[in-house]
Structure 1
Amino acid sequence: MTTNGDESTKLRYRPMKYSGSLDHLDFVEVTPIIGREYTKAKITDILAASNSEAQLRDLAVVISERGVCFFREPQTDLSVDGLKQFTDSLGRLSGRPEENGLHVHPLYRDPGNSRMGNGETDENIYVINSEAAKKLYKTMPGRSANQEPRDLTREWHSDATFENCPSDFSCLLMEETPPHGGDTLWCSGYEIYDRISPTLRTLLSTLTATCSQPVFASACASGSYPVMTPRGSPLNTDLNFSPVHPVVRTVRQTGWRSLFAPIGLHVSKINGLYKEEERMLREYVMRLVTGNHDCVARMRWTRGAVAVWNNAAVWHAATPDTHLVPGAVRNGIRASSIGEVPFLDSASRSRRETLGLDF
């Protein structure tokens, strides 16, 4: 899937174009830079439409360009199978490798793995529950609640960066929500990349990062059970949780460059730098994320709401404050499609450069 033109300017993937099949849906943009909220749309209607594949393909375009989309109308009629079909279709219809599918939860066999609201479990569904996470990831270093002062920068991440083929689309349906607290934030990797000087962007485009996540091996050893394998791709197997990814990647659906792996929960090391250089670079990028709130879309969850995002284009972070709300319950189910091995296309450009936007 390449563009026409001179051989040196061809993109590996042809950027997707919006066809207009979703024009009948009401929406508001969350900010000028990131996020769209569909105020009344039902995902089940999109799945049942006579032109369902056209709508899903267009939605993949919108999500990839806007980074994240919210469905505010309660999606309580969306079954687990419907959630899986929806997420899988976004990846399939937007050009992911044919052999890939939905991610398989590495620790699905763990006895601490939570059940969904229907009382069942599913290897393709990750249950978002803070109490369950404490059990699943108790062997992860640095998860002590007694650290002072609290540093929530460690919450930022992109899903399944620890896999050779990470997630492209993730879709989270919130089944239960507290009266307040537990918001999720998304930050645009496109825009953060664009706010870096061209000289530094050139350097970043030569760098890779090792994305080790040893907690899966330690959890399996602690619980005496085998890790799930393969996990949505023939390349995601066994205890191979230490891939090397480009710091800057090209998003296949848009052809735009996004800052991908200089920061995040799963990024263990930026390769080829001295320790102090790496520390300065990671702190600088995180300062751009936390200091530019116009690059951030925030979701105040309501029961039955859905968020769906492109992990190549955004990072996200949960807000771990529900313990401050008496009786708070925050429970959601997430499905993730598995995309391609991350790559940087030399013919790709930044979002602002491609769209001719002012800096």
Structure 2
Amino acid sequence: MIAADPDVSKLIYEPMKYSGSLDHLSYVEVTPIIGREYTTAKIKDILQANNAEQQLRDLAVVISERGVVFFRKDQSELSVDELKRFTDEVGRLSGRPKENGLHVHPLYRDPGNIPMGNGETDENIYVINSEAAKALYKTVPGRTTNQPKDLSREWHSDATFEECPSDFSCLMMQETPPDGGDTLWCSGYEIYDRISPPMREFLDGLTATCAQPVFKSACTAGNYEVMSPRGSPQNVSDNFAPSHPVVRTNRQTGWKSIFAGVGLHVTRINGLYDYEEKMIRDYIMRLITHNHDCIARMHWTTGAAAIWNNSCVWHAATPDTHLVPGAVRTGIRASSIGEKPYLDPASTSRREALGISI
């Protein structure tokens, strides 16, 4: 809900409040800072509850405050349409623009787009599959190298290459390897809180270009048109080079988070000299890698699901399944599309808002 008062001391979006409708569900906090795991809850039961909208809205609050929520119990009976509806409703009920919906992957028409386990494809579902990634992104420069892997490149938030990126993403894992294949999430709230106040003030004024030219090159190589629009009337064309704030405000909480300061899709922090730009991006990545208490880790089990808020977390898959002979790791992901990222001058950091000392 947008606050009517134009006073700059008031937040543009009124923070969401938890009503208690999920209190009957058993959970554990993954870490004190980030993540919650519902140990026995079924997404299908939430969708079918008499107060489904209230529960889904409360879930949006929990996800936005904790960054990511895991559903450990096997969710395999959840249909593709139900997964889509679940993700769509969490985004809608948390106040995203009314004209927005689920993201459409730019390369949906690509012949290398591997279908889901049922043999079907869906423009709103991205199939998580290492072989699919190789086929879709074969035009990325430098994919073949003898250099050691730099896994810091794996960190990203979904659809940052769009004018309106994803707010919520939900992934249900269908097949898992016996070892490895974990996913990590890092709190952009907490990374922001670990930066000195003068440095925060500097970062607050910066934007970054989030270019992803692979989509245009893949379409050219495959001789097909990019999908458009993609979950928002603003997500059109094949430019894929929007400018986003380095620090953004999460509309659900009103808290600041590092957003476009690092990640797979961030190509340059704007307006800085080359060395300055590299120094800042290296610094933010150093904060991620040196502060593992800001990270929640999911060891996937068959049918488990995770839903996260891309406005305040990055995530990174652990690319180690190739080390396990015969390993299979596949899942399906739906993503809601939120508003164009913004920095509200009235917003504060998470620790400031909650009165937590560093």
Q: Shorter-chain-normalised TM-score: which range?
A: over 0.9
1:8 deviation in Å? 2.6
Q: Tell me the distance in 1 between the aligned counterparts of 2:9 and 2:16.
A: 17
Corresponding residue of 1:37: 37
1:278 aligns with 2:286: no
1:103-156 CA-partner distances (Å, limit 9, x unpaired): 001100001001101110000000000111001000012322x34222100000
For structure 2, the 5+ residue unaligned runs are none
Q: What pairs with 1:186-335 in structure 2 (closer than 5 Å)? A: 186-335=185-334
1:7 deviation in Å? 1.7
Cα RMSD (Å): 1.0
3-state SS of paired residue (1:70): strand
Corresponding residue of 2:178: 179
Q: Tell me the distance in 2 between the aligned counterparts of 1:240 and 1:333.
A: 26
3-state SS of paired residue (1:9): coil
Query: Is the 1:4–1:10 Cα contact (8 Å) retained in structure 2?
Result: no
- Distance verdict in 2 for CA 1:49–1:151, change over 3 Å: same
Corresponding residue of 2:152: 153
Q: Tell me the distance in 1 between the aligned counterparts of 2:6 and 2:94.
A: 24
1:57 aligns with 2:57: yes
Query: Is the 1:186–1:315 Cα contact (8 Å) retained in structure 2?
Result: yes
Q: Tell me the distance in 1 between the aligned counterparts of 2:209 and 2:10.
A: 28
Corresponding residue of 2:165: 166
Query: Is the 1:2–1:10 Cα contact (8 Å) retained in structure 2?
Result: no
1:43 deviation in Å? 0.2
Corresponding residue of 1:130: 130
Corresponding residue of 2:102: 102
1:240 deviation in Å? 2.5
Q: Tell me the distance in 2 between the aligned counterparts of 1:207 and 1:105.
A: 28
4+ runs deviating over 4 angstroms: 2-6
Corresponding residue of 1:143: 143
Identity %: 74
1:236-271 CA-partner distances (Å, limit 9, x unpaired): 002030000000000000000000001100001100
Query: Is the 1:67–1:188 Cα contact (8 Å) retained in structure 2?
Result: yes
3-state SS of paired residue (1:7): coil
Q: Tell me the distance in 2 between the aligned counterparts of 1:297 and 1:167.
A: 20
Q: Specify the code of the residue in structure 2 equivalent to 1:150.
A: K
1:70 aligns with 2:102: no
Corresponding residue of 1:23: 23
For structure 1, the 5+ residue unaligned runs are none
3-state SS of paired residue (2:127): strand
3-state SS of paired residue (1:61): helix
Q: Tell me the distance in 2 between the aligned counterparts of 1:168 and 1:5.
A: 25
Q: Specify the code of the residue in structure 1 equivalent to 2:85.
A: Q
1:3 deviation in Å? 5.0
1:46-95 CA-partner distances (Å, limit 9, x unpaired): 00000000000000000000000000000011000000000000100000
Corresponding residue of 1:121: 121
1:208-258 CA-partner distances (Å, limit 9, x unpaired): 000000000000000000000000000000203000000000000000000
Q: Tell me the distance in 2 between the aligned counterparts of 1:325 and 1:291.
A: 28
Q: Tell me the distance in 2 between the aligned counterparts of 1:130 and 1:214.
A: 20
Q: Which moved more, 1:296-305 or 1:5-14?
A: 5-14
